[in-house]
Structure 1
Amino acid sequence: MGCSLYELPEKGKSWPYHYHTANEEAIYVLSGTGSIRLDEELHPLRSGDYVALPADESGGHRVINDSAGSLRYLFVSTMCEPDVTVYPEMETLGVFVGSAPGDRSGRALHGYYPLEKDIDYWEDA
């Protein structure tokens, strides 16, 4: 398990809307208020709230601080690798291989790629 502390300033937003294919995540709000986008709906967040995010399309999320103060929260995650992160609105995939999330030093492969870039397996072989 991994855990990171985040603090979003007033009117701040976390990473773009996305979901993971290998890692489950959860958010626990320490202080402040804001919203979490789940699918197409915004849900209020406040101190003490806990939201579980499965490792599939139903776990898509983005945290938004739509309040006048800071929003502090913990993000808890499984530490599976490899992981593919899907950013549906950006039509992008994030691929992370070689180390658990957060540890970039051990990654053998990582990057962001167009979601719809589909090539034949034998193309240019």
Structure 2
Amino acid sequence: MQPFGNCRRNRQIRETVKPLQSIEYRMQRTNAAEMEWTTQGDGKMEVRRKQLGEATDSDKLGCSLYELPAGKKSWPYHYHTANEEAIYVLAGSGTLRADDERVDLTAGDYVSFPANASGAHRIINDSDETLRYLAVSTMNEPDVTIYPDSEKFGVYVGSPPGGREERSFEGYYEQESAVDYWKGEDDA
């Protein structure tokens, strides 16, 4: 018996596995200081964002740098059904509403949000200074985002949430607007 299994089989495996150098891989790099901020909001909600993951053509992992001005709130209270999210607070302080609890946030805090109802969250900057954080997420699609407070949901098909141009379908709907499966179908 040979010590590490069948040497002939191991040789066959080595011959079929290509060395790492031959794998087509191109690292992408960006520098947040060289990127422009985009601002989104409706008055009470206002975030400034730099989409780092999108700038590096990341497919499976999203990452954005956010600034939340004093007195403002982030995206509406929500959770995803297909994507995990996490935040890492870089500077400032605020409040995290998560799973219907309120928790203080300060620099150095890392919080993850599972892809289910217990991952519901919203960030509130109730301080007098800017709150700066990184948000990281998986980038799975299709995804349905649930907004418990407003009883609506969002659907993203063709690309995950985050604003990519490849998206083939996106919409927001009231949960109570459900119709019967057979409505509008004919016998044809």
TM-score bucket of the superposed structures, by smaller chain: over 0.9
Unaligned runs of 5+ in 1: none
CA-based RMSD = 0.8
Higher relative contact order (CA 8 A, sep 6+): 1
Describe the superposition over 1:4-29 as per-residue Cα deviations: whole angstroms up to 9, x where unpaired: 01000001100110000000000000
- 3-state SS, counterpart of residue 88 of structure 2: strand
Structure 2 Cα separation of the partners of residues 94 and 109 of structure 1: 10
Q: Which residue of 2 aligns with 1:95?
A: 155
* Structure 2 Cα separation of the partners of residues 77 and 57 of structure 1: 16
- 2:76 partner amino acid: P
**Given the alignment, which residue of 166, 173, 177 partners 1:113?**
173
Q: Which sections of structure 2, spanning at least 5 residues, go unmatched?
A: 1-60
Q: 4+ runs of 1 displaced by more than 2 Å?
A: none
Q: Counterpart of 1:93 in structure 2: which amino acid?
A: F
Structure-1 separation of matches of 2:177 and 2:77: 20
Q: State the match for 1:51 in structure 2.
A: 111
Q: TM-score, normalised by structure 2?
A: 0.65
SS in 2 for 1:105: coil
The structure with more strand, counted as a fraction of residues: 1
Alignment partner of 1:76 is 2:136: yes
Structure 1 residue 116: Cα displacement: 1.7
| Larger deviation, residues 85-94 vs 112-121 | 112-121
SS in structure 1 opposite 2:150? coil
> How far is the alpha carbon of 1:104 from its aligned partner?
3.0
Match of 2:67 in 1: 7
- The higher radius of gyration belongs to 2
What is the number of residues matched between the two proteins? Answer: 125
More helix by proportion, 1 or 2?
A: 2
Map 1:6-25 onto structure 2 (within 5 A).
6-25=66-85
- More displaced 10-residue stretch of structure 1: 36-45 or 19-28: 36-45
Aligned identity (percent) is 62
Report the residue type matching 1:29 in the other structure: V
